[in-house]
Amino acid sequence: MRLDKYLTICNIGSRKEVKTLIKDKKVKVNHVVQINYDFDVNEKIDQIEVNDICISYKEYYYYLLNKPKGYICATSDSHQKTIMELFSDLNQHLVDKLFPVGRLDMDTEGMIIVTNDGMFSHQLTSPNHHVKKVYLVEYDKKLPDDAKVQLAKQIVLKDGTIYQPSYIEIIDENHAYLTITEGQFHQVKRLICYLGANVTYLKRIRIGNLTLPNHLETGKYYELNEKELLKLLEKE
Question: Residue 51: is its pLDDT beyond 90?
Answer: yes
Task: Say how far apart CA 139 and CA 90 lie, in whole Å.
Answer: 37
CATH of 3-55, one of 3.10.290.10, 3.40.50.2300, 1.10.3720.10, 3.20.20.10: 3.10.290.10
pLDDT of residue 236: 65
| Cβ atoms within 10 Å, residue 156 | 11
Question: Residue 7: is its pLDDT beyond 70?
Answer: yes
- pLDDT tens figures, 8-40: 888 888 889 999 999 999 999 999 999 999 999
CATH of 132-207, one of 3.40.50.300, 2.60.40.2470, 2.60.120.260, 3.30.70.1560: 3.30.70.1560
The CA dihedral of 112, 137, 219, 7, to the nearest 10 degrees, is 0
Question: Residue 173: is its pLDDT beyond 90?
Answer: yes
Q: What is the DSSP string of 70-85?
A: T-BSSS--SSS-BGGG
| Cβ atoms within 10 Å, residue 205 | 16
Task: Assign domain 62-127+209-233 to a CATH class.
Answer: alpha beta
Shared fold status for 62-127+209-233 and 132-207: yes
Which residues on neighbouring strands pair with residue 101, listed in sequence order?
113
pLDDT of residue 189: 97
- pLDDT tens figures, 123-165: 999 888 889 999 999 999 999 999 999 999 999 999 999 999 9
Domain residue ranges of the chain, discontinuous segments joined by +: 3-55, 62-127+209-233, 132-207
Q: Of residues 40, 89, 105, 140, which has the active-site annotation?
A: 105
Query: What pTM, to 2 d.p., does this model score?
Result: 0.86
117 is catalytic: no
Average pLDDT value for residue range 47-60: 90
* Residue 131: DSSP 8-state: -
* Percent of residues, the chain, with pLDDT higher than 90: 84
